[in-house]
């Protein structure tokens, strides 16, 4: 599995305040944004701040929600998910209009997700 880049996602209920904090207080550069998420450059990785109360997130099963997520961008999400599944880890695969993800948890319950690099590049290109 080839890893293209990594990131961190924060699901927040004070979206505008958090975006302002990371932009104005920490002075992070915005890579792209939409009405529901802002993606910052976080020193050779990315920090994605996402609106927690958006309909798409609210419709996700409770066990697939988290306040944070370690994101690993890969070329082939299904192949990466299969590797984890073969190691006995429960992993769920999703396809959205913005890309593909597969989510799983570490032994302490922290969320980790594989994301398709192609979908991330599309977001970078089309949401500036």
How high is the mean pLDDT in each 10-residue block of the chain (128 residues)?
90 91 92 93 92 65 72 95 94 92 85 91 82
Boundaries of domain holding 7: 3-126
What pLDDT score was predicted for residue 126? 85
Residue 52 belongs to domain with CATH number: 3.10.180.10
Residue owning tokens 């992070």: 28
What pLDDT score was predicted for residue 37? 92
What pLDDT score was predicted for residue 127? 75
Q: What is the value of pTM for the model shown?
A: 0.74
Number of structural domains the chain divides into? 1
DSSP state of 62: G
């Amino acid at each position: 599995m080839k890893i293209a880049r990594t990131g961190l996602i924060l699901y927040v209920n004070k979206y505008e305040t958090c975006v302002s904090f990371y932009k104005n207080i920490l002075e992070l550069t915005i890579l792209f944004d939409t009405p529901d998420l802002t993606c910052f450059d976080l020193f050779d990785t990315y920090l994605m701040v996402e609106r927690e109360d958006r309909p798409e997130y609210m419709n996700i099963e409770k066990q697939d929600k988290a306040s944070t997520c370690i994101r690993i961008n890969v070329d082939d999400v299904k192949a990466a998910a299969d590797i984890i599944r073969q190691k006995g880890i429960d992993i769920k695969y999703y396809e959205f209009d913005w890309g593909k993800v597969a989510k799983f948890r570490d032994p302490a319950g922290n969320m980790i997700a594989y994301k398709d690099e192609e979908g991330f590049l599309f977001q970078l290109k089309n949401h500036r």
